[in-house]
Amino acid sequence: MSESPLPDAPACGRNRGPIFEQLQRLLADRTHVLEVGSGTGQHAVYFAPRLLHLVWQASDRVGNLPGIRAWLAAEPADNLPPPLHLDVDGHWPDLSVDAVFTANTLHIMSAESVRTFFRTLPQLLQPGGLLIVYGPVKMAGEFIGPSNGDFDRRLRERDPLSGIRDLEWLDRLAGEAGLAREELNYLPANNQLLVWRLQNGGEQ
């Protein structure tokens, strides 16, 4: 048993069902998923045992690893290895995966970190690999739902470098990294689930 307390992100309990409905379909033929910014680890422990055909690799910055380890100890699964240290700004594990999933991270990271995220992805995502991003985005400069405008203001008050990103900008960064968007899914609470695919031979 782990000694660390289990961190709780209540939103995970609300959004994991709708996200899983999409992941089940998108990850049916995948073998190795890297989750970037796993946070508490609650998504990992929910998704992994429901996707036993693949390995779910959780990761985050160092400060979040004890909490993730605590969740993995409390709810272990054979396809859920210990979380890895991954800081988009400087520390990427040596991995090769056919999908990357990240939830509620691109509006928390600085714009520079988001750029680094996309630029670095092709180093570990196999050609044909999927990038799946869950969270709120803006489209044509507009928030999707009024609550996202309030959320964006609160984010920027707390950290001026954070904020809800423009889908067109994400598409541009993705394109520069050799990824092409295949899907935009509308999920509850004004969140979107975006899917890009690394094109064959699509190096940086």
Smallest separation, CB 194 to ligand SAM (Å): 14
- Tell me whether residue 87 or residue 171 sits nearer to ligand SAM (CB atom): 87
- Tell me whether residue 140 or residue 154 sits nearer to ligand SAM (CB atom): 154
Smallest separation, CB 203 to ligand SAM (Å): 22
Which residues contribute to the site for ligand SAM (CB under 6 A)?
9, 12, 36-39, 43, 60-61, 64, 86-89, 103-105, 108-109, 113
- Tell me whether residue 115 or residue 181 sits nearer to ligand SAM (CB atom): 115
Smallest separation, CB 200 to ligand SAM (Å): 27
For 134, the enclosing helix (H) or strand (E) is: strand 125-135
- Tell me whether residue 104 or residue 192 sits nearer to ligand SAM (CB atom): 104
- Both tokens of 35, joined, read 């989750």
* DSSP code per residue over 150-199: HHHHHHHHH-TT--PEEHHHHHHHHHHTTEEEEEEEEETTTEEEEEEEEP
